[in-house]
């Protein structure tokens, strides 16, 4: 099975209101493995968008068919968001 690259449909975001230029820009930040970018992007999302993003990241780390680098990046994002949950606002569930 090939790598899944179209992640833009996983999070329905009003990009203009949140300051994003494209869904790809959101995923580029979330999957960057850079805690600061991940947190800054996370905090721009509303609760529904955050929930959708978390669900998608969980799928990426638990389902077959994702490229290994995507899985590593998704796990990195989940780790950052879980750390944020232990002491910050706009926390992942």
pLDDT, position 87: 72
Report the percentage of the chain scoring pLDDT > 90.
Answer: 57
At 4-15, the pLDDT tens digits run 444 444 455 554
pLDDT, position 14: 52
Produce one character per residue of 15-54: b if its CB has 16 or more CB atoms within 10 Å, e if not. eeeeebeebeebbebbbbbeeebbbebbebbeeebbebbb
6-15, 23-32, 61-70, 81-90: least confident range: 6-15
């Amino acid at each position: 099975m090939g790598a899944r690259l179209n992640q833009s449909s996983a999070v329905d975001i009003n990009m203009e209101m949140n300051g994003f230029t494209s869904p790809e820009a959101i995923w580029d930040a979330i999957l960057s493995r850079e805690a600061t970018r991940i947190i800054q992007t996370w905090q721009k999302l509303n609760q529904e968008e955050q929930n959708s993003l978390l669900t998608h990241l969980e799928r990426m780390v638990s389902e077959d068919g994702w490229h290994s680098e995507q899985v590593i990046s998704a796990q990195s994002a989940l780790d950052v968001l879980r750390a944020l949950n232990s002491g910050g606002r706009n926390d992942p569930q």
